[in-house]
Structure 1
Amino acid sequence: MAAIDWELDLAGDRRCDSPGHCALYGAYPLMDQSCCLIVSSHLVKSMETTSSNAMELEGFKRCQSDLISHGLSVRSITTDRHLSVGKYIREEWADVCHYYDAWHIVKGEDCRLSTEPGNKEPAGNWIKAIINHLWYSINHTDVSDEHEARWRQLLPHMRDDHRTKLDAWLSQELSSKRLINDLRKAGVQNTAELESFHKQLNHFAPNMVGFSYHGINSRLRLAGMYHNENATRSFKFDRLGNQQYVMARSKNNKLTQTAKRKKVNPTYASVALLNGSSGNTRGNYCEVPGFITRHSPEELRIPAQL
């Protein structure tokens, strides 16, 4: 692997092999947000920890050991709102700035407001406006103190300006201690690119198919190699030098189409490394850009029965 001589701004999030709280395997990748490369990833089995929920912290610890063993300097890390990971970084990795992903904060608040039994008239009509204001409070300033200040402007506005009679649960939820603390740690960086890698991982290891430990571990490594090889693809132009676009639909609104710049076709040099067409393949598995977790050819070879 080429030497990394800059401070890393990482993003980390767990990807389970099945939805819910009974996952058997949990993959934890770390991505450098400046170049969108996977620098480390580990697979954890639930039987190695006390529960499925504890796999995220164990995977984070193993990735941290990779970073320390390679002497890499980390400036910041962005994760979801996992309490154990937040506590571990606060106590064991205090010199690293820890931020929460804004999308996870907004999504968690939206789920809580939508599932509470008191979200009926008139407070229920405010849920969309509350979520929009939460996005505005986080994304329109880089200062964490201003996140809280902007957010606290919401309750007086709802009480006084519109004379809305708020339920006790709504007032308590909007000013909860955990939400305020998470707003203070919300950063401008996010885990969007890492979520895109999780989507790519579904092509290598679909959730609807059961794999053995070695089978899903091999697919996790191959997905990381493929992603790092094609993470910095350039955009595609026609013969006249005009930018090419492709139409895409949003998950929330299937009727709306947006034009996105089209990228060049992906390459598969990592497959050539596995097939041995590059000559001495024994030392080439660690030469994929950014990937620091070392693996032998036997670990990356997927048996047919898996």
Structure 2
Amino acid sequence: MGRFLATNVSLILRGFPRHYCVGQASKTNLSQLRKRTGVPLKNCRAALQKCHNNLEEAEKWLKEQAQKEGWARADKLQSRPMSQGLLGLIQSRTGATMIESNEVKNSNGMEKRGLERAVDWVKNNDLEIGTIVTDRHLQIQKWIRENLPETTHYYDVWHVAKGLKKKVLATAKQSECGQLSKWSRSLTNHLYWVATSTPNGDGDLMWAKWESVENHVHNKHEGHNELFPSCAHGMLYGDERKKKWIKPGSKASEKISDIILSNRMKRDIPKLSPLYQTSQIEAFHSTVNHFAPKMVAFSYYGMYCRLIVAALHFNENTSRVQAATKEGNMQFKISFPKFKHGEYSVRKRTVDSTYGYVTSLMTETFTSMEASVDATSPHQPPVSCLPEIQPPPLCSNFVHPEKSEAVQHFRSRFMRKETPV
């Protein structure tokens, strides 16, 4: 799933809806609908206009929209800093659908809901899912096991390696276990090798290879098991032989053996993905952070459009080639990722990003404007691609104090807010 949004750019900027072309809602019905549902006035007004000022039909329609969009859970996520709770996009013929944090109980549930919608989209387009790669999210594991029994489920290697490294470094801080920190990198490298050296995804062989590292760290390189009897590195010479091997029977030996042979690793190692990983999704999330920084709150439509533009930018630049000097030498760069705690990484330097999609968007925008003004224009008029109404922000169901009273509390040096027990 390297491409996250493959849709005509005309679906993005054509015709943002400015109003609803139906009758005006009466103030009485508007007030009653607001009291019955608790939905913001602009949505109540839109419902009444859509239902021709019929109060019962408008209430029924709002409840259906609330259940569909997840408005009813807004009051359960008061601690969330996001204004709209937008998570991601799923390709569709008419634009994109969004997943909001107020549809579910917590952020963990958002991942599961996103997977459900993605799978529904795939099935609705008459496609079958043969293999799916995710992290070790427990709810997702259960959902895939129950709803996609014929699909092969693999785990992303990076997420498993990340958890392994954390456990090893945490154990290394204990007394008599300091030497384990020297082995964290070797163990994570071996984990990647276990997956990539088994392209057929044989889980038993993966576990046999991983189990062998427990002997390796104790300077034992033969007699591991039937499927993988000896290490694949060959004879060790010089500095390789002088490694700080772990002494059998020591506290460090017991701790590292418990980590390597733990029940969690026995379940996860056989399900490591041998080919595809979720790194493309992580890269897309990084691109989204440039177009929609987390420290800034955007409107619903603003966030919607920013995610689409981020997807366009990612799709155009995801396959950039490696940069070269004038002499033709390939260029590399050294970086110090935060998660490596001072260790460096060597990466290929790619060519600069391109922004061809901007020209396409501008062309489509001006073409749509001309078509909307000139009735004789051969171009099609703008087509609305945004959701018909906006769901309320997460704070819409909060108790709002009177502004004058709040200001008085703020200005007074004597009055103190009562702290609830």
TM score, norm. by length of structure 2? 0.53
Deviation digits for residues 1-20 of structure 1 (CA, Å, limit 9, x no counterpart):
xxxxxxx7999xxxxxxxxx
Deviation digits for residues 145-172 of structure 1 (CA, Å, limit 9, x no counterpart):
2221111001123346443424444322
Q: For 1:298 and 1:271, how far apart are their aligned partners in 2?
A: 22
Q: For 2:103 and 2:266, how far apart are their aligned partners in 1?
A: 34
Q: Aligned partner of 1:112: which letter?
A: K
2:246 is equivalent to residue 176 of structure 1: no
- Secondary structure of 2:121's counterpart equals helix
Q: Is the 8 A contact 1:46 1:52 kept in 2?
A: yes
Pick from 206, 227, 233 the counterpart of residue 293 of structure 2. 206
Q: CA deviation at 1:212?
A: 3.6
Q: Is the 8 A contact 1:123 1:166 kept in 2?
A: no
Q: For 1:118 and 1:89, how far apart are their aligned partners in 2?
A: 38
Larger Rg, first or second structure (1 or 2)? 2
- Secondary structure of 2:108's counterpart equals coil
Pick from 106, 118, 133 the counterpart of residue 174 of structure 2. 118
Compare the two structures and name the one with the higher helix fraction.
2
Q: Is the 8 A contact 2:86 2:303 kept in 1?
A: no
What does 1:112-261 correspond to in 2, within 5 Å? 112-116=167-171, 117-118=173-174, 120-142=177-199, 143-159=202-218, 161=220, 162=245, 163-164=247-248, 165-167=250-252, 168-187=254-273, 188-231=275-318, 247-252=332-337, 259-261=348-350
2:98 is equivalent to residue 27 of structure 1: no
Q: For 2:99 and 2:186, how far apart are their aligned partners in 1?
A: 39
Q: Percent identity?
A: 26
Q: For 1:66 and 1:204, how far apart are their aligned partners in 2?
A: 25
Q: For 1:136 and 1:280, how far apart are their aligned partners in 2?
A: 54
Q: Aligned partner of 2:87: which letter?
A: A
Q: Is the 8 A contact 1:10 1:77 kept in 2?
A: no
What does 1:258-269 correspond to in 2, within 5 Å? 259-262=348-351, 265-268=354-357, 269=359
Q: For 2:138 and 2:322, how far apart are their aligned partners in 1?
A: 39
Could you tell me which runs of 5 or more consecutive residues in structure 1 were left unpaired when the two chains were aligned. Answer: 1-7, 12-20, 32-39, 286-294, 300-306
Compare the two structures and name the one with the higher strand fraction.
1
TM score, norm. by length of structure 1? 0.70
Q: CA deviation at 1:177?
A: 1.9
Q: Is the 8 A contact 1:100 1:185 kept in 2?
A: yes
Return closer, same or farther for 1:258/1:230 CA change in 2, 3 Å cut-off: closer
Q: Is the 8 A contact 1:99 1:186 kept in 2?
A: yes
Report which stretch shifted further, 180-189 or 263-272: 263-272
- Secondary structure of 1:277's counterpart equals helix
Could you tell me which runs of 5 or more consecutive residues in structure 2 were left unpaired when the two chains were aligned. Answer: 5-78, 221-244, 369-378, 390-421
Q: CA deviation at 1:221?
A: 2.1
Deviation digits for residues 97-156 of structure 1 (CA, Å, limit 9, x no counterpart):
221111111112112222345373343332232222222222222233222111100112
Return closer, same or farther for 1:26/1:102 CA change in 2, 3 Å cut-off: farther
Q: What's the counterpart of residue 124 of structure 2?
A: 69
* RMSD (Å) for aligned C-alpha atoms: 3.8
Q: Aligned partner of 1:180: which letter?
A: K
Q: Is the 8 A contact 2:90 2:97 kept in 1?
A: no
Q: For 1:201 and 1:160, how far apart are their aligned partners in 2?
A: 46
Return closer, same or farther for 1:280/1:251 CA change in 2, 3 Å cut-off: farther
Deviation digits for residues 22-63 of structure 1 (CA, Å, limit 9, x no counterpart):
6743624579xxxxxxxx975433332121211110111112
Q: What's the counterpart of residue 16 of structure 1?
A: none
Q: What's the counterpart of residue 236 of structure 2?
A: none
